[in-house]
């Protein structure tokens, strides 16, 4: 965690000296790598509880992203990275698990910056993450991060894939480890739900439009701080209303990766999933009540706010002959 803290501090110091949108900007060729290492069971259990994953079974589909986050931050806060890390917002993620990964398998992690793309609201960078076991590529992802700045977008500019999770609510242009719980900690559904950062799941009637509602989750105001402690992602927009207001938000917002993980925890056996695609449409201001909606197969899902505002949309592709959660 110390190296991640140092990266965040370095990013805060270097961001004011970086100017997004330079026509001569290039990406660093570096590929930071973490050598093969086992997954620590305590942090994994804490992550599983706050995101709603089962206590046993394959590694959650989103967890390699969390493990590689310190490497990503090291690269993005380095002097050679062309975009300021402060204000950079996550816009989309694609995850491809090539096979199920057991928690006991040691993972080698590598990250690199793949592409810079002009965007009508700034510049988007695609970051890649790869996980290997014994040299075998077992998991990979691509993520888009948007640096917003004013410019005249050239013809052929990347259109908005999604509205970034860090986009301020008034933006009208179309983004320490928690200790293990004991058995008594999980004695009731209410306690288990509190560990996930949500109130007990409540069945809902079908939605009037879009995907049918499956559950309603009440998210507490400190969810960003709790998830930040588990994931290491302590971006100030997630931690406290005071720090969030510095970036144009009236309150702290939920981590986009928490919303993806919480939805995927409802998607059934991760070994059945061949790929995931999720896009962040609007921030979730904390505290909040949100609705998880999905089709009958669980292959299309979304997260909606109290007034029907869509925060997250996603799709799951399953392996041949494998059905969803039913």
Domain for residue 157, yes or no? yes
Q: What distance in Å separates the CA atoms of residue 317 and residue 300, rounded to the nearest whole number?
A: 9
Q: What distance in Å separates the CA atoms of residue 140 and residue 7, rounded to the nearest whole number?
A: 23
Q: Which residue range forms the structural domain that includes residue 224?
A: 2-318
Give pLDDT tens digits for 248-267. 889 999 999 999 999 999 98
Give pLDDT tens digits for 103-141. 999 999 999 999 998 877 788 999 999 999 999 999 999
Give pLDDT tens digits for 66-75. 999 999 999 9
Q: What distance in Å separates the CA atoms of residue 166 and residue 87, rounded to the nearest whole number?
A: 8
The pLDDT of residue 232 is: 87
> How confident is the model over 286-305, as a mean pLDDT?
94
**280 φ, ψ to 5°?**
-95, 120
Residue 32 has pLDDT above 80, yes or no: yes
**What CATH number corresponds to the domain at position 303?**
3.10.129.10
Q: In what order do the strands lie in the sheet with 122-133?
A: 33-37, 107-119, 122-133, 136-148, 89-97, 273-280, 310-318, 300-304, 288-294, 213-219
Domain for residue 326, yes or no? no
Domain for residue 323, yes or no? no
Domain for residue 325, yes or no? no
48/168: higher pLDDT:
48
If we measure between CA atoms, which residue out of 112, 111, 107, 114 comes closest to residue 135? Answer: 107
Domain for residue 324, yes or no? no
The pLDDT of residue 179 is: 26
The pLDDT of residue 5 is: 53
Work out the mean pLDDT of the chain and round it to a whole number. 81
> How confident is the model over 157-183, as a mean pLDDT?
38
Domain for residue 313, yes or no? yes
Give pLDDT tens digits for 49-66. 999 999 999 999 999 999
> How confident is the model over 158-173, as a mean pLDDT?
44
Whether omega before 287 lies within 30 degrees of 0, making that bond cis, reads yes
pTM of the model: 0.81
Q: Please give the tally of structural domains in the chain.
A: 1
Report the percent of the chain where pLDDT is more than 70: 72
Of 192-201, 229-238, 256-265, which range is least confident?
Answer: 192-201
Domain for residue 58, yes or no? yes
Residue 180 has pLDDT above 80, yes or no: no
């Amino acid at each position: 965690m110390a190296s991640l803290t140092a990266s965040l501090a370095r990013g805060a110091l270097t961001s004011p000296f970086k100017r997004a949108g330079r026509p001569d900007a290039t990406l660093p060729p570096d590929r930071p790598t973490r050598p093969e290492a086992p997954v620590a069971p305590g942090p994994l259990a804490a992550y599983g509880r706050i995101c709603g994953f089962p206590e046993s079974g394959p590694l959650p589909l989103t967890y390699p992203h969390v493990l590689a986050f310190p490497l990503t931050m090291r690269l993005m806060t380095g002097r050679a990275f062309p975009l300021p890390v402060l204000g950079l917002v996550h816009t989309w993620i694609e995850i491809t698990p090539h096979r199920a990964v057991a928690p006991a398998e040691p993972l080698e992690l590598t990250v690199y910056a793949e592409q810079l793309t002009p965007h009508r609201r700034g510049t988007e960078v695609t970051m890649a993450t790869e996980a290997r076991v014994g040299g075998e590529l077992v998991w990979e992802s691509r993520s888009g991060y948007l640096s917003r700045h004013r410019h005249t977008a050239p013809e052929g500019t990347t259109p908005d894939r999604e509205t970034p999770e860090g986009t301020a609510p008034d933006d009208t242009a179309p983004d320490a480890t928690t200790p293990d719980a004991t058995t008594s900690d999980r004695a009731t559904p209410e306690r288990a739900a509190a560990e996930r950062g949500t109130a007990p799941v409540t069945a809902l009637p079908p939605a009037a439009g879009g995907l049918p509602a499956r559950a309603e989750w009440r998210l507490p105001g400190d969810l960003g701080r709790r998830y930040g402690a588990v994931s290491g992602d302590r971006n100030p927009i997630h931690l406290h209303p005071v720090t969030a207001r510095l970036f144009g938000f009236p309150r702290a917002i939920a981590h986009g990766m928490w919303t993806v993980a919480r939805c995927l925890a409802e998607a059934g056996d991760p070994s059945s999933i061949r790929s995931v695609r999720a896009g962040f449409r609007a921030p979730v201001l904390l505290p909040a009540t949100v609705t998880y909606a999905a089709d009958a197969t669980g292959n299309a899902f979304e997260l909606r706010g109290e007034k029907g505002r869509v925060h997250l949309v996603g799709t799951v592709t399953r392996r041949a002959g494998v059905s969803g959660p039913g």
